[in-house]
Chains A and B, each alone.
Chain A
Amino acid sequence: MIEFARNVRLWFAPEEVRQEGTTPDYRFSLANERTFLAWLRTALALIGGGFAVDQFLPDLRWGWRVGLALALLAAGVLCSLRAVNHWMRCERAMRRGEDLPVSRFPALLSVVVAVVAVAMVVVVLVGWEG
């Protein structure tokens, strides 16, 4: 948790990142940036999915509709927070010449998306006109 707080401080302090280690090949930094953007797109897609559940399943019971939408929106928020945090960790690891950080977030997100998808199938089949 302390590590996370330190990272959050670094999000807003670009100078401090540059003080560490050496500047890597700019192509590595750009690749890291593209990975960050890909995660951000995933987050935006999840947020769009939340809107879509709310808009395109109007016959669903209120609780299910709002629950599913909020689950997708929360996943989007988590995904974007993780995107910037992971980008920062990778950037620092590259500057220090360390191994890139490992993460169980992709597996976690896959499981959550799978669960939400199954819930949607069940809800659409059973809860329709609930």
Chain B
Amino acid sequence: MTEPARDPGLQPERTRLAWRRTTLSATVAAILAAKTALHGSTSAAGVLGCAACCALWLGFLLVANRRIRALAAADRPTALAPRQATGAVLCTIAIALCAAALVV
């Protein structure tokens, strides 16, 4: 009965928490987006923008949760896949584009 070797630097845990923090930042951005979209009179474009931002936030959550599960499952986690990194970045950029559309 030997415990699985743990990294004394707790790197996987720190990485998991970094994903959590980043998800939290995305949540704040999405909430600000929803506030902007539904501010004042509710228009069809506003509702659409709000829905888009919510969907993007869900997409980000999905990427983050997948990565967190992968980090927890393996004893020696594999490096982040470029597709996941690109997915997270594309969600971020799309939120910014929604923001630009809502602001103008």
Contacts and interface: CB of A to CB of B under 8 A. Distances in A.
Do A and B pair up? The answer is yes
Interface of A: 10-14, 17, 23, 26-27, 29-34, 36-38, 40-41, 43-45, 47-48, 50-52, 54-55, 66, 69-70, 73-74, 76-77, 80-81, 83-84, 87-88, 91
Chain B binding surface SS class = helix
B25 interface: yes
A95 B12 CA distance: 20
A88 to B, nearest CB: 6
A41 B25 contact: yes
B4 interface: no
A62 to B, nearest CB: 10
Chain A binding surface SS class = helix
B104 A80 contact: no
Given A33-B15, A33-B79, A87-B80, 11 more contacts: A14-B82, A26-B76, A30-B14, A32-B79, A47-B29, A47-B95, A47-B99, A76-B96, A80-B89, A84-B82, A84-B86
A60 to B, nearest CB: 12
Given A41-B25, A45-B25, A55-B39, A50 B92 contact: no
